[in-house]
Amino acid sequence: MRYQNYECIGLYEGKKLIGICSLWFILDIHIGKTAEVDHVVIDENFSNLGLGKKYLIFLYQFKTKKL
């Protein structure tokens, strides 16, 4: 996966992994470089805290820097 422009990004509270997702970095012939967020999972014990929204905002900012 490492050589296929794929990355996993974890969300931690201290040392505890509470969320994870993957990103595919691709070159689309119509729009250029892009990243596709895939399989976003947040621990159910941390639901309803707005972490999913914050995580997606972080991922957007992260992918923008990588492109």
Q: Is the pLDDT of residue 1 over 60?
A: no
Q: Is the pLDDT of residue 48 over 70?
A: yes
Q: What separation in angstroms does the CA of 46 have from each of 9, 19, 21, 52?
A: 17, 9, 15, 9
Topology classification of domain 2-66: Aminopeptidase (3.40.630)
Which among 7, 11, 10, 22 is positioned nearest to 50, based on CA atoms? 11
Alpha-carbon 5 to chain mean position: 13
**Domain coordinates in residue numbering, the chain:** 2-66
pLDDT at 2: 58
